[in-house]
Chain A
Amino acid sequence: MHGLQHQVSVHRAGTELILLPCKMVWWPDGRILFAADTHFGKASSFRQAGIPVPAGTTATMLDTLSTQIKLFEPRELVILGDFVHSSRSAQDDFESLLLAWRASHQHLPVTLIKGNHDRRTADFYGNLRIALRKERQVACGPFTLCHSPQDINPQAFNLCGHLHPGYAVPQLGLRCAPCFWLATDTLVLPAFGVFTGLARVTLESSQSAILIHQQMLLQVDG
């Protein structure tokens, strides 16, 4: 176990990845920011079904994205699937927020690796000028990008999402918290969405969990 850190650097595939406590990954060599499982509109679809979820989650997420974009000035933003939560779209308030956000970063290319939740029409992504990649695996520099860890390329180092990994350290009194899950050939990103659940992972000997605790990172090796 290492101490609490502001960022964790991971060396794989001959390059460096920086894991950030905002649940994103920065690749300095390729100048790309990665996030996974944003699940935009999840709170809204709950509200439409009569389940009260407070408003404000979408704005928070977009603020975080903007802050990181200003900080790193990336060449591209890549979302590793599950960009929006549900296929219904009758009266979504979050769409206008997304469009406004997009307008404020209009020169930034945004790519989405299609996830199982991404069932919106082509118009939706077109309006947001998001490049939708429907392939299971997308090559990106030395990495392979995919949504689900089931689709990884064993010959490469993979970045993916889908799992919403979480890890708990009861000895330290830490409840299950979102974490990056790092194996020799794969890095699973935590879900970026504020209103998303967690799947608790168990670590094998070659794996690590880098969990997020109060805007800091704590690495636990299996």
Chain B
Amino acid sequence: MRASPQRVAQATRQVTQWFESLERKPFAFQRRTWRDYLAGRHGLVHAQTGTGKTLAAFLGPVIEHLAEVDKTLTPSPAPKKAAPKKAASATRSRRQRRDSQLRVLWITPLRALAGDTETNLRTALTALGVPWLVEKRTSDSSASLRARQQVALPEVLITTPESITLQLTREDCIQRFAQLRLIVVDEWHELLGSKRGVQTELALARLRTLQPAARVWGLSATIGNLDEALVTLVGPTAAGQASLVRGNVGKQMEITALIPRDMERFPWAGHLGGQLVPQVAEIVRSATSSLVFTNTRSQAEIWYRSLLAQLPDLAGQMAVHHGSLDQKLRWWIEDRLRDGRMRCCVCTSSLELGVDFPMVDQVVQIGSPKGCARLIQRAGRSGHRPGQASRVTFVPTHALELVEIAALKRAVADGHIERRAPLSKPLDVLAQHVVTVALGGGFRSTELLNEVRGTAAYAHITDQEWQWVLDFAERGGSSLTAYPDYHRIALVDGTYRVLDRRIAALHRMSVGTIVSDAAMQVRYMKGKVVGTVEESFVGRMSPGDRFMLGGKLLELVRVHDNTAWVKRGRGKETAVPRWMGGRMPLSTELSQALRDELERSLCGKYVGPAMQAVKPMLQLQLAWSTLPAHDELLVERWSNREGHHLFVYPFEGRLVHEGLAALWAYRLSRLKSISFSMAMNDYGFVLVSPIEAPLDEALAAGLLSSAGVAEDILSSLNATEMSKRQFREIARVAGLLFQGYPGQRKQARHLQASSNLFYDVFSEYDPENLLLRQARREVLERQLEEQRMIAALDRLGQSRILIERLLRPTPLAFPLLTDRLRDRLSSESFAQRVQRLVESLEQAANNEKPAQDPIQTNRS
């Protein structure tokens, strides 16, 4: 029952009037989104946070509803005041609940966002007099709410990818989605490129099959491949008809760099940052409310403590916030940030997304954000009040990061934003999905294959791969290696179903693709949870040791039942927890911008205060060695009593360098049997060997060739070890690791085994298992960025190689040298060694006449 154009126009006017009553006007992109939705199109809206994406997506179906209902029959109360939050559901009778039908499904990747979205949507509905129920359904939802939703879903359901997948395991899911009009995927850029994103793609494909009239709209921040994001969201077939709506931008962003007062010539990772604490404290004091972003959780803990020492009067108005702290504590901090009671919060990407903090007027970024998109996202957390610009102050932790910030500024100005590459056919996610669909009413093989091929992720899945996934679910392995006693799904009259209730329960417990780390809970003896740390960290500690977590000094009392019991500590801490992951590599876009920036300095152009500050250091680099132009690769050779050093600077980011270093070491040692030790950072890598490596010979023999890269890499690295680590996630998603029923972990223990064990048993007894192959592929694609490495090799293969013999390490070489030292020395002797090295190099630099004009090296 489509409403007439007049009624739609009338309903749109009603919505516009509501905007006007708030002294606002709908933005052009909001109107366009409503129009396209009403025309039956799918689409993607991209804009920065806090610019009205939510109402752009949500009001389409509201207008549709207003145009459909007969006004004369529905008394519209249009209350003057916004009704209290729970009023709507409380006044609805049980009968109304039974009549309610899901119209709008709102999928958000962040549970924390659900609450705010709920409030926003309710406000709009109340003001427009639409009597729809708005409810959340996440893993936090109460039992009574779940029970109510068991009867029927509300008109608007806000949920997570995991919860929607769970809905799809219900036998009656077809009826439950019969009235579905709109599916919104919030923060789609966050899901894109992850297995959660693929899980969402599959769920969307299922929902489109169940209810073909439903439209899919994504909301996204700006990323470099929006077209691809749209295709991935709506599927390749529908993408031609879908809309890409650009939200109003216009928000100003100011990027400034904090220039150290005493510029250090020799950058030493992490060294500069500490000296800048007083300067950072000053700018924190000057702002109303600041977010201080760090790149790792350990850094957040350290900076919180240092800043608090500088600003003791702000105690109680400062906090540290990261993913390993207890959820309740994080909520408490977020509440205070929202209403402005928090002057400063040191945080990690944990506060990068999500609800807006209107009081925050300044963002400080410690260390390079390593990518333009991340900088924009973090900067966008400030300046939410109208007319206010986003302000971000960048605090370099070593001198070369000043070049990065100059490069970042230019890349942002030129609109070079990173892509988020979607994943291609991860079979573990599909293996989980077929069981989900088998539970949710069952499926026929060809029908589900067609549906799955309608997603971007599995558009190119082969018949063999599909058959393997079916076999895996039905028999465990391919038909030749059928596993006895094993049936996850079974074929009954041409339809695959789950017959065993135990398997159904097990599957519902394990839906999802999020793999939590082997984390250990940290708890006070009195019972309060502080957060989590990695098991390996606790493993190295003994009772009485003290560490910082959540800005509090804690003393380990004992470890019991996967819990580290602590009490408040006194004195000095003995360790700072380190968490795995977190070290983001330089993005492709930023790498490119960085190389451009260096090339400019080669021509004597130092634009902006950051480049001016770093000028003496770059001039020294030019005097002692050189800098590479965009079509050159710099290699420096230097020997001391530790061995022969080969410094290589591709400027391609840490992950690529890790692969390149292993590749070079492997290819060099094929010519001459040498063992290398290595270190790498975002700018380059160093190989150290007891005898000199045959570089010229190797270059002639194709050291930089991209031919056979994958094989060489796999044989050069401890590929088995890396695959094993990657297999953990795959094993979890494919349903090998059973995490236990909630509240009764003990009973399920006989069904628990480690992913390592699975990996070994599969390798031994079913080596053709495609999940093993997937692990190897993921290592290449995700851990080593194979494609990026091949692109880098292709670029380097075209480059002129500049080989410089050094008398002493250069400013570019120094951080690599210290990174290598750090791995081998205790922290104290490390600091002393580095200090001595800096002094001797400073002396050498001062004794030398500064190079007159660095442009006049013998290259043009």
Contacts and interface: CB of A to CB of B under 8 A. Distances in A.
Interface of A: 42-57, 85-86, 91-93, 173, 175, 194-197
A49 B753 CA distance: 13
B757 A47 contact: no
Interface string B460-503: 00000000000010001100010111111000000000001011
27 contacts: A45-B751, A46-B753, A47-B476, A47-B486, A48-B485, A48-B486, A49-B502, A49-B503, A49-B506, A50-B487, A50-B735, A51-B506, A51-B738, A51-B751, A52-B472, A52-B483, A53-B476, A53-B483, A53-B758, A54-B477, A54-B761, A54-B764, A54-B765, A55-B483, A194-B761, A195-B757, A197-B754
A136 to B, nearest CB: 22
B483 A47 contact: yes
A51 B750 contact: no
A44 B764 CA distance: 17
Most central of B483, B502, B753 by chain A CB within 10 Å: B483
Please tell me the size bucket of the interface on B: 20 to 34
Given A45-B750, A195-B761, A196-B757, A52 B736 contact: yes
B804 to A, nearest CB: 34
Contacts of B718: 173
Contacts of B642: none
B475 to A, nearest CB: 8
Contacts of B721: 175
Contact of B477 (A49, A52, A91, A195): A52
Given A46-B753, A47-B483, 19 more contacts: A46-B751, A49-B503, A49-B506, A50-B487, A50-B735, A51-B735, A52-B476, A52-B488, A52-B736, A53-B476, A53-B761, A54-B764, A54-B766, A56-B765, A173-B718, A194-B764, A195-B753, A197-B753, A197-B754
B719 to A, nearest CB: 14
B762 interface: yes
Contacts of A45: 750-751
Contacts of B753: 46, 195, 197
Most central of B472, B507, B757 by chain A CB within 10 Å: B757
A53 to B, nearest CB: 6
Nearest to B484: A93
B750 A86 contact: yes
Nearest to B489: A50
B393 to A, nearest CB: 41
Contacts of A56: 764-765
Interface string B47-71: 0000000000000000000000000
Most central of A45, A56, A85, A93 by chain B CB within 10 Å: A56
B481 A55 contact: yes
Given A50-B506, A57-B765, A85 B483 contact: no
A195 B759 CA distance: 11
B542 to A, nearest CB: 11
A55 B765 contact: yes
Contact of B757 (A50, A86, A175, A197): A197
A85 B757 contact: no
A49 B485 CA distance: 9
A92 B484 CA distance: 9
Given A47-B476, A86-B750, A54 B485 contact: no
A140 to B, nearest CB: 29
B765 A44 contact: no
Given A93-B485, A194-B761, A197-B754, A50 B736 contact: no
B757 A57 contact: no
Interface string B603-622: 00000000000000000000
A50 B756 CA distance: 19
B504 to A, nearest CB: 9
A203 to B, nearest CB: 14
Given A55-B765, A175-B721, A197-B757, A50 B502 contact: yes
A4 to B, nearest CB: 20
Contacts of A194: 761, 764
Given A52-B476, A52-B477, A57-B765, A44 B750 contact: no
Contact of A49 (B481, B751, B756): B751
Given A44-B484, A46-B751, A93-B485, A51 B766 contact: no
Interface in B755-777: 756-758, 761-762, 764-766, 769
Q: Which 4 A-B pairs have the closest CB atoms?
A: A54-B765, A50-B503, A52-B476, A47-B486
A171 to B, nearest CB: 13
B484 A47 contact: yes
B500 A50 contact: yes
A49 B735 CA distance: 11
A57 B721 CA distance: 22
A92 B765 CA distance: 19
B724 to A, nearest CB: 8
Contacts of A197: 753-754, 757
A56 B476 CA distance: 13
Contacts of A50: 486-488, 500, 502-503, 506-507, 735
A48 B500 CA distance: 10
Contacts of B502: 49-50
Contacts of A51: 506, 735-736, 738, 751
A55 B488 contact: no
Nearest to B503: A50
A22 to B, nearest CB: 15
Nearest to A43: B761
A196 B769 CA distance: 20
A195 B738 CA distance: 15
A54 B500 contact: no
Contacts of A52: 472, 476-477, 483, 486, 488, 736
B859 to A, nearest CB: 44
A47 B113 CA distance: 39
A97 B502 CA distance: 27
Most central of A50, A57, A86, A195 by chain B CB within 10 Å: A50
A51 B738 CA distance: 8
Nearest to A175: B721
Contacts of A173: 718
A50 B487 CA distance: 6
Contacts of A195: 753, 757, 761
B735 A54 contact: no
A195 B503 CA distance: 21
Nearest to A52: B476
Contacts of B750: 42, 45, 85-86
A91 B758 CA distance: 22
Nearest to A86: B750
A45 B485 CA distance: 9
A53 B762 CA distance: 8
Nearest to A173: B718
Nearest to B477: A54
A97 to B, nearest CB: 11
Given A86-B750, A197-B753, A54 B506 contact: no
B814 to A, nearest CB: 28
Contacts of B484: 44, 47, 55, 93
Contacts of B756: 175
Contacts of B764: 54, 56, 194
B496 to A, nearest CB: 14
B479 to A, nearest CB: 13
Nearest to A195: B761
B762 to A, nearest CB: 6
Contacts of B735: 50-51
B437 to A, nearest CB: 16
A85 B750 CA distance: 8
Nearest to A93: B484
A43 B761 CA distance: 10
Contacts of A47: 476, 483-486
A124 to B, nearest CB: 17
A54 B762 contact: yes
Contacts of B751: 45-46, 49, 51
Nearest to B486: A47
